[in-house]
Amino acid sequence: MKPGYKQVKRMTTFMRLNHWVVAFSMVAAVITGLYIGHPYYQSFIADPAVGKYVMAWNRWIHFMIAIIFDVSSIVIAYLYFFSRFEKPYKKLIPNKQNIEEFGAVVINLLTLNRKKDFDSTHADSFNTVFFLLFHLMLAWMLLTGLQLYVHGLASGESSIGAWWPWMLHVATDWTIPVSNMLIGSASPTPSIMDVRISHHITMWFILAWIVFHIYYQVWRTIFWKEGDIGIVVSGTKYVKEEA
Amino acid sequence: MADRIEGVKKLFTSKSARVETNRGDAYYEKLFQKCQARIEELKTQQPINNRLEISDVLENHGIERRDFLKWASAVTGMLMLPASFTPLVADAALLMNRAPVIWLELQDCAGNSEALLRSDGPKIDEIVLDIISLEFHETLQAASGHQAEKQLEEAIEHFKDKYLLFVEGSIPMADDGIYGTIGASGETFYDHLMRVSKHAAAIVAVGSCATFGGVPAASPNPTGAVGVMDVIKGKPLINIPACPANPANMVGVIIHYILTGQVPELDSLLRPKFAFGYRIHDNCERRAHFDAGEFVEEWGDEGAKNNFCLYKVGCKGPMTFNNCSIIRYNEGVNWPVGVGRGCIGCSEPDFWDKYAYERPMADANIKAPTGGVEKTVDEFGLGLLTAAGIGIGIHAAASSLAGNKEEVGE
C-alpha cells in the first residue's frame, strides 16, 4: 500500500457478487432480448423444427435472467433500507447535506476534478441517485417484462397454479396505461403494444446508463487516484490519510 | 389525463383475461335451467318484424339440419359452455328473430356489414344473422332520407329500452363532428349515436373503428375519430373488434344475450372473453416455427414456401388477443396467417399505427413523444447512445487535456 493511504471498505461480498451477476445477466438479456424483438440470425433451414428451439431458447434464457433480476432486485430493494453496511436510502433523502454533496460531486465532474469538496471514503449522494435511476429502470423492465410474459398465460393457468398469472395481472396491468403515457401515444386507449415499445426503449436508456457508469468509474480511478475501479473486485479502495 | 386515470382504475379492478371453464355441475345445472326458462319465455313471444324462419332459410340454402346442429355444438364450444347446452343454443339460434336490432353505420368502410352479409355463399353464421330482427340498417334498407329517419324513430319508439344497438364505424369528434353527418337533417354522427343509444338495452360496437377508432383514428387522425366507448358512458357496452369483426363472434354475443339476457363476461377492453380471452399466437398453426426460429424473411422466399413463422414480416399474433386462429373466418375456411400473411393485430387498440406494419415492432417507425419525427426504437436508442458517447468523449478529451489537479500542483 502506498504510504499515507488507508484502505476503506466500500462493497460487501454480496454487493460485489450481485454486481457481476447483474452485469453478465444484463449482457445476456440484451443479446436475447434483441433476438426476441427482431430475430437477427437464422436457424439452419434444413434441420427439422423439432431439433432447434432457437427462439424458444432465447426466450428461455431471457426469462431465466428475468428471474435472477427479480430476486436480485428484491434483495437490493431490501438493502436500500436495511443494509448493515451502508443504507443507500440515507443518501437519497433530499436534506441539506445530501443536496450539497450531490452538487459538490457534479461540480467535481464538471470542473474536471479541479474542485473536490466532499468526502470520497463512502458512497456519495450523486452516485447513489445515479444508481437509484438504474434500479428504477430495472424495476420498470421487470414489471413491463412480466406484463408481456403474462399475455402467454391467457388461460389463467400456469404450471405453478392460477395464483401466478393472477398476481402478475394485479402487479403489472398498470404498466399498460403508464407505458402509453411514457411513449407519448396520442391514442385514448392504451394498448399492450405500448408496453412492448416502452420495454424496448428502456433497454436503450439502460445501455446509455451503463456506458456512463463505466466511463465515470474509470474517470474517478484516473483522476481521484483512489483505486475506485478495484472496489467491485476487492470491495475496497484507498484514500489519503488525513494528516 | 382524467381518462387515463380512469383507465388505470379500470385495469386495476378488472379481472384477468381468464375464463373459468369449470365451475362445477351445480353452477351449470342452475345456468341451464335459467337459460331454458328464458328460451321457453321467448318461444311464447311472436317474432318481431322479420318473418323468416331459420329452418326455411337453411333449407333454401341447402343446409341440412345435421349441419345446423354441428354448427350449434361449435358455437356452444366457442361460448365455453358444456355440450349439454347444445340444444339450447340451437333453440336460441331459432329465436334470433325475437331480438330487435338497430344497426348504425358511422365513419368506416362498411366492412362489418359486408362480413355479416357475406353474400357470396352465406354460411350458417351469416344466415343466423340474417334472421335477427334488423329494424334499421341504413346501408342495407331500401328506405333513405326522410323515410329512413322516420323508420328509425319508429323503431326506437317501438322497442324502447329493448333493442340491441350495433354500431359500426368511428365517431369523428374534431370541429364539432362536422366530418360525418347523416340523414336529411345533417345530424352529426355523434348526435345520431347519442340519440339512438339513449334507449338501447345494450350497445355492441362492431369492428375496430367502432371499438377503438380503428383506421380513421390512425395518425394523424384528422377527424378526431374515437370509438363508441370513448363517448358513451353508463350503458352496457360490448366491443367486438377486428377488421372486420368475425360474424361468428357477433353471433356468439347475440346468442349469449338470447340465452341469458345478459352481456357475456368481458375483459378490460370490454371484449367478450370467450372470443378475446386468448392470444392468436398460442393457437397458431405456425407456432412451432416461431419457437424453432424459422422465419419468413421476405415474401415468397423458401421460408414462405415452407409455411414458416411470419413474425419477421410483421405478424403481431404474439400481441393480439382474438380467436381467429381457432374459429378462422368464413366458417373456418381460412384466416390471415393461414394464407401466409401475418396478423396485423386488428383487434387491438390503435392497431393501424402500432401493429399493422410488415416488420417486427423493433424495426417499425414509432411516433416520437414530440409528435413529428418517426423513428424506429432502435434508431432512437442508437441516437441516445451516440449522444451519450459524444458527451463522454468531450468530457474525456477535456479531462485529458486539462490533466490532473495533483499533477498540476506537483
- Taking the domains of chain B in order of start, what are their residue ranges? 31-275, 281-363
Contacts of B292 in chain A (CB under 8 A): 43, 49-50, 52-56
Determine contact: A208 vs chain B, CB below 8 A.
Answer: yes
CB B92, CB B260: distance < 8 Å? no
Alpha carbon A177 to chain centroid distance?
Answer: 23
> Between chains, do B17 and A156 touch, taking CB under 8 Å as contact?
yes
CB-based contacts of B153, cutoff 8 Å, min separation 6? none
Q: Which residue of A has its CA nearest to B407?
A: A223
pLDDT of residue B134: 77
> Between chains, do A177 and B370 touch, taking CB under 8 Å as contact?
no
- Cell readout for B361 is 415492432
CB-based contacts of A198, cutoff 8 Å, min separation 6? A140, A144, A175, A179, A182, A183
Surface of A (118-137) touching B: CB under 8 A:
none
B68: helix, coil or strand?
Answer: helix
Contacts of A174 in chain B (CB under 8 A): 8, 11-12
Instruction: Please give the single-letter amino acid code of residue A83.
Output: S
Domain that holds residue A119: 5-240
B167: helix, coil or strand?
Answer: strand
Distances (CA, A) of B369 to A97, A185, B350, B387: 36, 7, 16, 18
Closest approach of B150 to chain A, Cα-based (Å): 35
Mutate to test the interface with B, among A204, A212, A239 (most CBs of B within 10 A): A204
CB B287, CB B278: distance < 8 Å? no
Using CB atoms, pick whichever of A49, A173, A192 lies closest to residue B319.
A192
Determine contact: A214 vs chain B, CB below 8 A.
Answer: no
Mutate to test the interface with A, among B8, B230, B269 (most CBs of A within 10 A): B8
Alpha-carbon torsion, ordered B148, B154, B155, B157, to 10 deg: 150
Determine contact: A169 vs chain B, CB below 8 A.
Answer: yes
Distances (CA, A) of B324 to B8, B259, B270, B383: 28, 24, 18, 39
Distances (CA, A) of B393 to A107, A150, A228, B399, B405: 18, 41, 20, 10, 20
> Between chains, do A204 and B377 touch, taking CB under 8 Å as contact?
yes
A212: helix, coil or strand?
Answer: helix
Closest approach of A171 to chain B, Cα-based (Å): 9
Once rounded to an integer, what is the mean pLDDT over residues B187-198?
94
Q: Is the pLDDT of residue B8 over 50?
A: yes
Residue found by looking up cell 340451437 in the block = B90
Beta bridge partners of B137: B103
pLDDT of residue B192: 94
pLDDT band at B344, cuts 50/70/90? very high
CA gap A117, A173 in Å, rounded: 46
pLDDT of residue B287: 92
Query: B307-327: string of b/e by CB count within 10 Å (b at 16+)?
Result: ebbbbbbbbbbbbbbbbbbbb
Once rounded to an integer, what is the mean pLDDT over residues B238-255?
89
CATH class, range B31-275 = alpha beta
CA gap B170, B105 in Å, rounded: 9
Using CB atoms, pick whichever of A38, A55, A173 lies closest to residue B11.
A173
Once rounded to an integer, what is the mean pLDDT over residues A60-81?
92
> Between chains, do B396 and A155 touch, taking CB under 8 Å as contact?
no
Parallel, antiparallel or unpaired: strands B237-240 and B181-182? unpaired
Closest approach of A146 to chain B, Cα-based (Å): 14
Beta bridge partners of B188: B181
Surface of A (102-121) touching B: CB under 8 A:
109, 112-114, 116
Contacts of B268 in chain A (CB under 8 A): 173
Closest CA to A64 of A96, A40, A29: A29
> Between chains, do B18 and A166 touch, taking CB under 8 Å as contact?
yes
B31-275 against B281-363: fold identical: no
Beta bridge partners of A240: A5
Element (H, E) at B376: strand B374-376
Determine contact: A33 vs chain B, CB below 8 A.
Answer: no
CB A203, CB A33: distance < 8 Å? yes
pLDDT band at B409, cuts 50/70/90? very low
Closest approach of B151 to chain A, Cα-based (Å): 34
- The vertex-B178 CA angle with B173 and B183, nearest 5°, equals 110
Q: Which CATH number is B281-363's, of 4.10.480.10, 1.20.1050.90, 3.30.360.10, 3.40.50.2020?
A: 4.10.480.10
- Cell readout for B219 is 395518425
CA gap A118, B87 in Å, rounded: 82
- Cell readout for B220 is 394523424
State the total domains in chain A: 1
pLDDT of residue B121: 54
pLDDT of residue B388: 93
Contacts of B374 in chain A (CB under 8 A): none
Where are any strands of DSSP class E within chain A? 5-9, 236-240
Ramachandran category for residue A21: left, alpha or beta (phi over 0 → left; psi -120 to 50 → alpha): alpha
A239: helix, coil or strand?
Answer: strand
CA gap A11, A69 in Å, rounded: 19
> Between chains, do A38 and B363 touch, taking CB under 8 Å as contact?
yes
Once rounded to an integer, what is the mean pLDDT over residues A114-127?
88
CA gap B227, B334 in Å, rounded: 28
Q: At what angle do helices A175-182 and B2-13 cross, to 10 degrees?
A: 150
CA gap B331, B339 in Å, rounded: 15
Closest approach of B370 to chain A, Cα-based (Å): 8
Q: Is the pLDDT of residue B117 over 60?
A: yes
Question: What is chain A's mean pLDDT, rounded?
Answer: 90
Closest approach of A226 to chain B, Cα-based (Å): 13
Peptide bond into B220 cis (omega under 30): yes
- H-type helices in B22-174, by residue range? 25-44, 54-60, 65-78, 86-94, 111-117, 124-131, 145-158
Distances (CA, A) of B32 to A171, B75, B93, B271, B350: 36, 16, 16, 24, 39
Q: Is the pLDDT of residue B166 over 90?
A: yes
Stronger pLDDT, B241 or A123, i.e. the higher one: B241
Q: Which residue of B has its CA nearest to A219?
A: B396
Residue length of chain B:
410
B69: helix, coil or strand?
Answer: helix
Q: Is the pLDDT of residue A159 over 50?
A: yes
Q: Is the pLDDT of residue B16 over 70?
A: no
Alpha carbon A129 to chain centroid distance?
Answer: 13
CA gap B134, B52 in Å, rounded: 12
CA gap B343, B336 in Å, rounded: 6
CA gap B20, B190 in Å, rounded: 37
> Between chains, do B362 and A34 touch, taking CB under 8 Å as contact?
yes
Using CB atoms, pick whichever of A58, A188, A215 lies closest to residue B392.
A215
pLDDT of residue B410: 37
CATH of the domain at A185: 1.20.950.20
Once rounded to an integer, what is the mean pLDDT over residues B186-195?
94
Determine contact: A183 vs chain B, CB below 8 A.
Answer: yes
Cβ contacts from A onto B, under 8 A: 201
Q: At what angle do helices A125-150 and A175-182 cross, to 10 degrees?
A: 120
Tell me, yes or no, if the pTM score tops 0.90. no
> Between chains, do B219 and A186 touch, taking CB under 8 Å as contact?
yes
- Cell readout for B10 is 379500470
B135: helix, coil or strand?
Answer: strand
Residue length of chain A:
243
> Between chains, do A112 and B213 touch, taking CB under 8 Å as contact?
no
Using CB atoms, pick whichever of B18, B290, B363 lies closest to residue A55.
B290
Closest approach of A9 to chain B, Cα-based (Å): 24
